[in-house]
Amino acid sequence: MKPKSISHRWAAACMALVLAMPAAWAQSSDLSACMAELRPAARTAKVTDATWTRHTAGLQADFSVIEKLNFQPEFRTAIWDYMSALVDEERVADGAARLAEQRQALARAEQRFGVDPATVVAVWGVESNFGQTFGKYPLVQALGTLSCHGRRQSYFRGEFFAALRILQAGHIAPERLVGSWAGAFGHTQFMPSTFERLAVDFDGDGRADLMDSSVDALGSTANFLARAGWQRGLPWGIEVKLPAGLSLAGEGRRSKRPVSEWTARGVRRTDGSALPDSLGAVGLLTLAGAKGPAFLVTRNFDALYSYNAAESYGLAIAHLSDRLRGGGPFATPWPTDDAGLSRAERRELQGLLTMRGHDIGPIDGMLGDKSREAIRAEQKRLGMEASGRGGQKILKALSGG
């Protein structure tokens, strides 16, 4: 039998999910029927009746979070676009300023948890742009929706109950508990269950507050990484040069080998020098294949990966931390003839699109649907591939470069 296409399988799976839902859940944004079914489990999870009634009465679904559940940029965006936006000169400069501003708290975090300041600040920068982008979704509504609709309902129910316990304990005011569509919140975007396990009161005011205390957030992030296996003084990894013909089959972050084996296979540092023995067992990370930047990564990279379970995300934090220590861009360029744009370049592109009469909304460096539609129109007009992607080619074409 000829196998079904991925799109057909996905459609069938979605239809099965809808058919499995009670009719009231699938047809209405009213979550009351779902909440009634979840109430016994919430009691078992130590959510009181008063808390439940206060925060779930009249709760309405926000189906936009279901759309976002099926699209995550770490897994869909080209790695050179992802990295260009997350690690640019603007964020490096902002991160250097935060290192100076928070040097005392960061020094205490390193002493207590063993995680260096640059790494903690890099997480802060990638997660919320140093507290400038927390997210706009009320967590109870977002997690309530995800507990009743879409994939991974069991997981999101656990986070939903944890969010309610946070409110119940008075850690954060209800109106302040906002964050990402998936439920992460605060300066370094902890999930509610992670908050309960690992958040620390690092400023000494008697409560852990990741929304309004950057000091608490930095200490909590260092605690997270330490508990994830971070080893004091060990680099996350190094960029390397691969010998021609080296097979990548079976290699990856988890397939760690002693440095001596990589040396014997001809792997060297990008300047041709020998690999440092101090790295211990390392795995080979090649997110763009053999022609792109290659890295030997240690167990500390695994700790970064655990923050968001995406290798591109882990690499963004790792690279930003290196830049904050004074390092430069990767030695090997990404294998593309149309490199990604920094946030400043994205704003420049949006300005050029606006000048040409396109309504793209605010010029914010975020290439959303309206920006991509405008890019697609300009690419078509210029005889380029109408992909809607914002890269160096369309920026140069519109700026006359």
Cα dihedral across residues 248, 252, 256, 258: positive or negative? positive
Q: Tokens 């964050």 map to which residue? A: 179
Tokens of 25: 């859940």
Cα dihedral across residues 133, 139, 141, 142: positive or negative? positive
Q: Tokens 């006359």 map to which residue? A: 400
* Ordered DSSP codes for 216-236: HHHHHHHHHHHHTT--TT--S
Task: Give the C-alpha distances (Å, rounded to integers) separating 376 from 29, 73, 314, 392.
Answer: 34, 19, 31, 14
Say how many Å lie between the first and final Cα of the chain, rounded: 53
Query: How far is residue 24's CA from residue 381's CA, in Å, rounded to a whole number?
Result: 47
* Residues 255 and 142: beta-carbon distance below 8 Å: no
Residue 1: predicted pLDDT:
42
Cα dihedral across residues 252, 253, 255, 256: positive or negative? positive
How much of the chain is helix, strand and coil, in % rounded to 5?
50, 5, 40
Q: What is the CA radius of gyration of the chain?
A: 23
Residue 27: predicted pLDDT:
53
Residue 77: predicted pLDDT:
86
**pLDDT by 10s per residue, the chain, length 401:** 433 333 344 334 443 443 344 444 455 688 999 999 999 999 999 999 999 999 999 999 999 999 888 765 544 789 999 999 999 999 999 999 999 999 999 999 999 999 999 999 999 999 999 999 999 999 999 999 999 999 899 999 999 999 999 999 999 999 999 999 999 999 999 999 999 999 999 999 998 999 999 999 999 999 999 999 999 999 999 999 999 999 999 999 999 999 999 999 999 999 999 999 999 999 999 999 999 999 999 999 999 999 999 999 999 999 999 999 999 999 999 999 999 999 999 999 999 999 999 999 999 999 999 999 999 999 999 999 999 999 999 999 999 86
Tokens of 199: 């958040």
Query: How far is residue 192's CA from residue 185's CA, in Å, rounded to a whole number?
Result: 8
